[in-house]
Amino acid sequence: MKIIIYILFFLLYIFLPVYLARLHYLSVKSAALFCLINIFILFYFVRKNLGRINQARLKIQDLQEQINIIEDDNRREVKNKGALGEKASRYRRLKDIIEEINQDLDLETIADKLAALTFSLVADNKGTCLLYLTDPQAPQALSLFKTKKEVAGMAVKSKEGDIFDSWVLKRGSPLLITEAGKDFRFDLEKLESDIGRPFSSLISAPLVGERRILGILRLDHPRAGFYAQDDLRFLMAICELGALALENGELFKRTQDLAIHDELTSLYTRGYFLERLKEECSRSLRQNRGLSLLMLDIDYFKNYNDKFGHMAGDIVLKALSAKVVEGLRDFDHLISRFGGEEFCVVILGLDKKKAYGIAEELRSKIEKTKIILRRKDTGVTVSIGVAAFGEDAKDEKELILKADRAMYEAKQKGRNTVVCSL
């Protein structure tokens, strides 16, 4: 409405002098001069307004740029806020990780939970998660212990680790690879032969114990750039917690092993052997499966201790244990240091006749074994008693009694011989 009024006022202001001039109320020169002056005034105001319009446009552009900058900042802030929220959520889960992996002292259970939690929290169950452990006796050798895979049927070729795993183990440092094929630090030709499955992006961190590197925890994915520095930092935090749990698991396993294995010979202890013998006798009865027991005793063992000392006796016991284990490696068996120089062997799935043949072969191998004591070649012989479950005895106690009697009969027959229970 205002625009229409302005237009009407403008037309009246311009054309009114012309109209008055035509009616001779105003001279033509005066009207012309009036119009010319007004044209100049109009041109001046138009030009001035155009400058203001341009300034307004520039201000609008500046304001729009500021709006764009503010919107970008807001978007980044929202994104950063979301990322921080995700990080906070991740790190809050560390408490749950501590609780979950420390619920059980079994090494298998700890490793399985550690791999599963890492695969879920860091990789969102995408790609592959590999947990390698080292052997205390061979700390520079890796062995694949647990795997978690997005594709269940995908094979992991590198059971002992690839060039990336070796890099982490040797340096004891974490590793981030955004695109494996373009990383100048590694031999790409060797990489091609080691892969066995497609991956491009990976993160890996060592599990550092108190005295050695316990292993490494690794995540990889076929897509380049899948993992970032934040993922590696979170993986390192998990590895710190995991290393402590794995050390506890290893200590518990060693404690268990010491409880059931003889410290000198590494054979089963008498108590554990008796428990297993009872179980195997029950299983043999249910499955109608053969089970034979060999009772071995070293002949004149006291003479070795008297002549060469107790350290020499320990050498004899260890050598004999190794020979018995070697002689029975092809059979399903249990071996125990039953007490002193006495050993018990359970052979599963064999009747008394076959067990006698194995006992005779074992006796012959032991007789031929040379043992060096104080720079002198010497040897030992054994007396062996054989009894069969079902045929000679109805329970484990009677079986041990029958084998023991047969072994003493072998002693009475001159030693270095095998006698079957009657």
Active site residues: 341
Contact indicator for 363, 348 with CB cutoff of 8 Å: no
Q: Which amino acid is at 287?
A: Q
**What is the distance between the alpha carbons of residues 178 and 200, in angstroms, rounded to a whole number?**
7
Of 227, 213, 237, residue with least CA distance to 128? 227
Instruction: Give the Cα separation of 160 and 153 in Å (integer).
Output: 19
Cα separation, 397 vs 393, in Å, equals 8
Rounded-to-integer distance, Cα 241 and Cα 100, Å? 11
Helix/strand/coil (H/E/C) assignment for every residue in the chain:
CHHHHHHHHHHHHHHHHHHHHHCCCCCHHHHHHHHHHHHHHHHHHHHHHHHHHHHHHHHHHHHHHHHHHHHHHHHHHHHHHHHHHHHHHHHHHHHHHHHHHCCCCCHHHHHHHHHHHHHHHCCCCCCEEEEEEEECCEEEEEEEEEEEECCCCCCCCCCCCCHHHHHHHHHCCCEEECCHHHCCCCCHHHHHHHHCCCCCEEEEEEEECCCCEEEEEEEEECCCCCCCHHHHHHHHHHHHHHHHHHHHHHHHHHHHHHHHECCCCCCECHHHHHHHHHHHHHHHHHHCCCEEEEEEEECCHHHHHHHHCHHHHHHHHHHHHHHHHHHCCCCCEEEEEEECCEEEEEEECCCHHHHHHHHHHHHHHHHHCCEEECCEEECCCEEEEEEEECCCECCHHHHHHHHHHHHHHHHHCCCCCEEECC
The residue with tokens 């229970």 is 421
Is the Cβ–Cβ distance between 305 and 378 less than 8 Å?
no
Spatial contact of 141 and 244, defined as CB atoms under 8 Å apart? no
Beta partners for 256? none
